Structure 1
Amino acid sequence: MKKLIDIGVNLTDKQFAKDQEVVVERALENGVSQMILTGSNVKGSKEAAKLAKAYPNVLFSTAGIHPHDAKGFNSNSIHELKQLASQKEVVAIGECGLDFNRMFSPQQAQEQCFEAQLDLAKELSMPLFLHERDAHDRFCEIFADYLTLAEHAVVHCFTGHTAEVKKYVSMGFYIGVTGWICDERRGQSLQEAVKYIPLDRLLIETDAPYLLPRNLENKPKNRRNEPAFLPHIVREIAKYMGVSSEEVTEHSTENARRLFRL
C-alpha cells in the first residue's frame, strides 16, 4: 500500500499525553507517512505547531478556533492565529466552522468567529480545515460569500447524507471521511453518501483519539483511536465507494499533498 496521509489527528489530546512518540512510530509502521494535527483553539494550535516542529515533514498542524471555543474569541485571537500561520509547519486555518448540535458557543459567536477565520484564510491564501455539524444550511449560506475559498478547503469528518455531500461537492469542497463509515448503526447515511464523492475531492482521516472504527478487529482496551488504524478505514471507504483500496490511497494522498502543499 502506498503511503497514507491522515489529515485529522488530535495528537495533543490528553489521551496521547504519555505516548505521543509511540503513536507516531506505530502510524509510520502502518503506512501512514504524514499526519496533520488539528488546532481547535489558540492554545491547542500552539501546542500542535510545537509538536509538529519536532517531526519535520512527518507532522504538520492547523491553526484555528473550533465553534465550541468560539465564545472565547476576541480581538487578539486572529492576531495570534496569523502569527502561528507564518510557521512552515502550519498548513491550514481551522478547525473552524459551525456546530449547532451541542451549542457550546452561541450561534452569533460561532458565526463571527467562523467569518473572521475565513477572512484570515483569504488574506493569507491558506487552505481551510472546516467543521460542520447540524448546521449545513447556515454553513452554506455563509460560504456563499467566500466561494473562491471552497476549492481550497476540506469539510473535515463529514458524517452527513447524500444531499449534503452533493451540495458540498458542487461548491468545490474536499470531503474528509473518518471511521464513522465503519459504524453499522450511525454510519449508514455516510456509507451511501461516499458514492457521490469524486476521487479527486476525497481526503481520509482518523480524527484520533475519537471515532475508533466499530468494526475494527482487536480493538485496543483503552478504546482510543489512532492514526495506525487508517488503513482499515481506507478499506471500508473503498468498499462503499466501489473502488479499490489502492485508488482511495493514491487519490487521497495526492489530494492532501495538493490541498495542504505538502
Structure 2
Amino acid sequence: MSSYIDIAVNLIGSALEDKVDDVINGAQQHGVMPLIVIGSHLTESQQAIELCQQYPGKLYCTAGVHPHHASTWQADSYERNKALCQHNQVVAVGECGLDYNRDFSPRADQRKAFAAQLALAVELQLPVLMHQRDAHGDFLAILQEYRAELPNALLHCFTGDTHELHDYLAQDLYLGITGWVCDERRGQALAEAVVHIPDNRILLETDSPYLLPRSMRPKPKSSKNLPQYLPYIAEYVATLRGQDSKLFAQTVATNSRRFFNLKAGE
C-alpha cells in the first residue's frame, strides 16, 4: 500500500501532459499513488477519464468546470458533466468554485456554474473538489445552500488564514494543503492555520506542476512541481503540527481514501 495519495495533479493541459509515464513512475518510486487528476473544464475532464483508463488503479480524476472556465457553462453542461461523472474513474465533481483574483470568467457566471456543480454533487452523492480565491464571502454563502446534502466537500489548495479556516471547519470541509505552506514569503498565514486543522480533515496535494515548495533543499533543477515531492510537503506540515511524520502521513492517506471512497488497497 502506498504511503501517500496526491489529491490534485494537473496532468492534462499542463507541462506534465507529455511526461505522464515519467510522472507516474517517479511518484510510485516515492510511495505516492494513486494520483487524482484534475478536470478543469468538460473537454479536459473527458481527456482525464481517457487517461485514467490507461492507468487503472494509478490514476483517478475529477470532472467539472473551474471558475476560470465558468463562462463555458451552457444549458447542456449539467447533463454533460453528469454523464462524465458516471465513469468509474471519476471520484469527485470539480474542480469548481469561485476565483475573484483573476476573474477570467464574469463573477455571475462563476456563481452560476459553482451552484450547478454543487447541485450535481448532491444529485449524484459524489464528493466535490472546490477552489476559492479572493471570494470567501460569496463562496461560503453558495456552499451553505448545499452543504447539508453533500456527502463530502473539499476546499483544495487552501491558502487562507485561521479566520477563514474556522469558517470552513464549521461547514465540516476537508482542507487540501499544498507546498504554498513552504513559502516563507506568502505562506505564513497558512503555516499558522494548518496547526488548527483537525487530524481527520486534512489532505495533502502538490497541485503539480504548480506550487513547487520553495524550501526544498537541494532545490530541484526544474521549476515544475511533481507528485513525487508530496512526502516533502507531508514532512514539512507534520513538523509544523508537531506530529510524527510517518503517523501523520498514514492519517492523511486514510483521510484521502475516505474522502474519495477509495478502497484500502488503492
Supply the AA of the counterpart residue of 2:241: M
Unaligned stretches of 5+ residues in structure 2: none
Residues 14 and 209, structure 2, Cα contact 8 Å, conserved in 1: no
Partner of 1:20: 20
Does 1:102 find its partner at 2:102?
yes
Residue 247 of structure 1 deviates from its aligned partner by 2.6
SS of match in other structure, 2:8: strand
Q: TM-score, normalised by structure 1?
A: 0.97
Q: 1:190 to 1:165 in 2, by over 3 A?
A: same
Offset at residue 166 of structure 1 (A): 1.2
The one-letter code sitting in structure 2 at the alignment partner of 1:161 is D
Deviation at 1:78, TM superposition (A): 1.5
Q: Specify the alignment match of 1:221 in structure 2.
A: 221
1:143 maps onto 2:148 in alignment: no
Secondary structure in 2 matching 1:206? coil
The percentage of aligned residue pairs carrying the same residue is 44
For structure 1, list consecutive stretches of 5 or more residues without a partner in the other structure.
Answer: none
Q: Deviations over 1:219-251 (max 9, x none)?
A: 333300010000000011111112121232111
Write out per-residue CA displacement over residues 125-160 of structure 1, whole angstroms, 9 at most, x where no aligned residue: 000000001111111111121122466011000000
Name the counterpart of 1:74: 74
> How far apart are residue 70 of structure 1 and its match?
0.3
| TM-score calculated relative to the size of structure 2 | 0.95
1:171 corresponds to: 171
Deviations 1:206-227 (A, max 9, x none): 0000000101123333300010
Q: Following TM superposition, where does structure 1 have runs of at least 4 consecutive aligned residues deviating by more than 4 angstroms?
A: none
State the number of aligned residues: 262
Q: Which moved more, 1:46-55 or 1:13-22?
A: 13-22
Which residue identity does 1:178 align to in structure 2? T
The amino acid across from 2:135 in the alignment is: A
Say if 1:150 and 1:171, in contact at 8 Å, map to a contact too: no
Letter of the 1:218 partner, please give it: P
Partner Cα separation in structure 2 for residue 251 and residue 227 of structure 1: 18
* Deviation digits for residues 21-50 of structure 1 (CA, Å, limit 9, x no counterpart): 011000000010211000000111111111
* 1:175-215, Cα deviation, whole Å (9 max, x unpaired): 00000011011100000000110010010000000000101
Secondary structure at 1:61 match in 2? strand
Matches within 5 A, 1:177-216: 177-216=177-216
Distance 1:72 1:2 in 2: 37
SS at match of 1:144: helix
Q: Is the 8 A contact 2:2 2:33 kept in 1?
A: no
Structure 2 SS opposite 1:71: helix
Specify the SS of the correspondent of 2:93: strand
Q: Which one-letter code corresponds to 1:258 in the other structure? A: R
CA distance in 1, matches of 2:230, 2:47: 23
Q: 3-state SS of the aligned residue for 1:5? A: strand
The alpha carbon displacement at 1:17 in A equals 2.9
Aligned twin of 1:36: 36
Deviation, structure 1 residue 12:
1.3
For 2:104 and 2:158, the matched residues in 1 are separated by 20
SS in 1 for 2:117: helix
**1:256 deviation in Å?**
0.9
Checking the alignment, whether the CA contact within 8 Å between 1:2 and 1:249 is kept in structure 2 is: no
The CA distance in 1 between the partners of 2:219 and 2:23, in whole Å, is 15
In 2, Cα distance between the equivalents of 1:173 and 1:196? 13
